[in-house]
């Protein structure tokens, strides 16, 4: 009888993490580790339901609170600044689902890469800012990385179908002519700059397709999220920037496409559901049976595609420029955007000020090579300080 897979879920209380737990239930895998941040009560419920050997939170105080909520002692609780990384090293997981958001996900990503396990990667910031460091560690440990973002999972699946994917390192781009990233367009598709200037936080948080956290929902509205995914595609699949194209596809049925050197195009299609991507990453190179609804093409009807309006949504261009600048610029981009989105959500700046603030921050911050994770953290600190200074002005 085949041994149950041991799965760690980093960020189990978030949107992707909760879907990963649902996928875990469907495939009857064993939870080796669950980690959370602010939502301690939900983490306690998850621990009671899945009984992981380990759970970790970023502070000792949170660990004490969590321990007090649990009726039994089957799960060992770790708390503190290094608790999540320590738990990753100790849990013995076969697969580590990385669903922690933001730059805080970089240390766990590096720790996961050291274990030799498979990383089901949903944290784009770690790939964008420190992807080469992660792949260096994977090469040493023998681990592998399967993307879980719906677009990059789709690309990986298209590459796998053509024998061009490599979970141990960026794919060999020799067979690839073009990667086509699809974007829903967000809630403001078709709006001009005048209309966008009046956008409120409440309006920006009403995404038409995906249910996500506040930060990523605003990033989807500005198309900065697609700019991040553009950089991520360059990192993950070893292609040049001019080989990655973004197309607006409001129906969100085609999750991305790959054009090969013979001009044939493979597309991955399904209803929008991140759990599909998690299941694929858990089972790769196989596919698990799942009793979900089949894609009804007649009901879907028409699939449409549009060129992004980069005058109204300049974040795509800003992200490309950050990638082309190289070095620490992608880390600067992420940090500046985090500060800008927070300022927008707290109504300190307007919607169109978000890309303007990010662009200004990139222009004033130094660019230098990233040789270590400390280089990434230094770029992050510098960018946050510069962005806050711009907001005060």
Which CATH number is 240's domain given? 1.10.1740.10
Of the three residues 114, 147, 180, the one that is the final residue of a domain is 147
Q: Among residues 127, 208, 119, 241, which one has the least CA distance to residue 168?
A: 119
- Asked whether residue 290 is assigned to any structural domain, the reply reads no
**Number of domains, the chain:** 2
307 and 387 both lie in a single domain: yes
| CA atoms within 13 Å, Cβ hemisphere of 390 | 25
130 and 175 both lie in a single domain: no
Which CATH number is 115's domain given? 3.40.50.720
Q: Taking every pair of C-alpha atoms in the chain, what is the biggest distance, in angstroms? A: 65
DSSP string, 156-204: HHHHHHTT---TTSS--GGGEEEEEEEE--GGGTT--HHHHTT--HHHH
Residue position matching structure tokens 């597309």: 267
User: Which domain, by its residues, includes 179?
Assistant: 169-271+297-392
CB atoms within 10 A of CB 246: 24
Residue position matching structure tokens 């049925």: 253
- Asked whether residue 156 is assigned to any structural domain, the reply reads no
Q: Among residues 109, 82, 83, which one has the least CA distance to residue 98?
A: 109
- β partners of residue 96: 8, 119
With beta carbons less than 8 A apart as the criterion, state whether 33 and 91 touch.
yes
What local confidence, expressed as pLDDT, does residue 353 receive?
98
Give the whole-angstrom CA distance, residue 65 versus residue 102.
24
CB atoms within 10 A of CB 263: 8
Which tokens sit at 82? 């290094």
Give the whole-angstrom CA distance, residue 163 versus residue 353.
44
| CA atoms within 13 Å, Cβ hemisphere of 102 | 15
- Asked whether residue 238 is assigned to any structural domain, the reply reads yes
- Asked whether residue 139 is assigned to any structural domain, the reply reads yes
Which stretch of DSSP H or E encloses residue 180? strand 176-183
59 and 127 both lie in a single domain: yes
- Asked whether residue 284 is assigned to any structural domain, the reply reads no
- Asked whether residue 89 is assigned to any structural domain, the reply reads yes
pLDDT by residue for the chain (393 residues), tens only, comes to 467 889 999 999 998 999 999 888 877 789 999 999 989 999 999 999 999 999 999 999 999 999 999 977 789 999 999 999 999 999 999 999 999 988 999 999 999 999 999 999 999 999 999 999 999 999 999 999 999 999 999 999 999 988 877 787 776 677 899 999 999 998 999 999 999 999 999 999 987 766 677 898 999 999 999 999 999 999 999 999 999 999 999 999 999 999 999 999 999 999 988 888 999 999 999 988 888 899 999 999 999 999 999 999 999 999 999 999 999 999 999 999 999 999 999 999 999 999 999 999 999 999 999 999 999 999 999 999 999 999 998
What local confidence, expressed as pLDDT, does residue 2 receive?
62
- Asked whether residue 184 is assigned to any structural domain, the reply reads yes
- Asked whether residue 277 is assigned to any structural domain, the reply reads no
Listed in order, strand segments (DSSP E) in 72-162 are 76-79, 95-98, 118-121, 144-147
Give the CA dihedral 15, 274, 250, 333, nearest 10 degrees: 60
89 and 221 both lie in a single domain: no
């Amino acid at each position: 009888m085949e041994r149950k897979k041991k799965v760690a879920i980093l960020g189990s209380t978030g949107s992707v993490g909760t879907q990963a737990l649902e996928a875990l239930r469907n495939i009857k895998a064993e939870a080796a580790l669950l980690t959370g941040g602010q939502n301690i009560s939900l983490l306690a419920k998850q621990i009671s339901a899945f009984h992981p050997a380990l759970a970790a939170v970023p502070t000792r105080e949170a660990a004490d609170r969590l321990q007090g909520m649990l009726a039994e002692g089957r799960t060992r609780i770790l708390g503190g600044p290094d608790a999540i990384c320590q738990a990753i090293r100790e849990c013995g997981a076969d697969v580590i689902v990385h669903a922690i958001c933001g730059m805080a996900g970089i240390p766990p990503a590096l720790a996961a890469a050291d274990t030799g396990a498979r990383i089901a990667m949903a944290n784009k910031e770690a790939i964008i800012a420190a992807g080469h460091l992660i792949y260096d560690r994977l090469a040493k440990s023998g681990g592998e990385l399967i993307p879980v973002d719906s677009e990059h999972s789709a690309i990986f699946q298209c590459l796998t179908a053509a024998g061009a994917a490599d979970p141990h390192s960026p794919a060999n781009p020799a067979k690839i002519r073009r990667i086509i990233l699809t974007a829903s367009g967000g809630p403001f598709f078709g709006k001009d700059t005048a209309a966008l200037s009046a956008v409120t936080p409440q309006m920006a948080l009403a995404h038409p397709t995906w249910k996500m956290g506040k930060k990523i929902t605003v990033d989807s509205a500005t198309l900065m999220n697609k700019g991040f995914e553009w950089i991520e595609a360059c990192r993950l699949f070893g292609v040049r920037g001019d080989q990655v194209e973004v197309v607006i596809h409001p129906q969100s049925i085609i999750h991305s496409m790959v054009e090969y050197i013979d001009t044939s195009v493979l597309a991955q299609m399904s209803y929008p559901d991140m759990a599909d991507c998690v299941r694929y990453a858990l089972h790769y190179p196989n596919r698990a049976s799942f009793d979900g609804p089949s894609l009804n093409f007649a009901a879907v009807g028409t699939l449409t595609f549009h060129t992004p309006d980069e005058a109204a949504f300049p974040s795509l261009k800003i992200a490309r420029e950050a990638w082309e600048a190289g070095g620490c610029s992608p880390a600067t981009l992420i940090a500046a955007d985090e500060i800008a989105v927070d300022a927008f959500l707290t109504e300190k700046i307007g919607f169109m000020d978000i890309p303007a603030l990010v662009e200004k921050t990139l222009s004033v911050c130094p660019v230098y090579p990233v040789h270590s994770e400390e280089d990434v953290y230094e770029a992050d600190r510098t960018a946050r300080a510069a962005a806050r200074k711009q907001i005060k002005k």
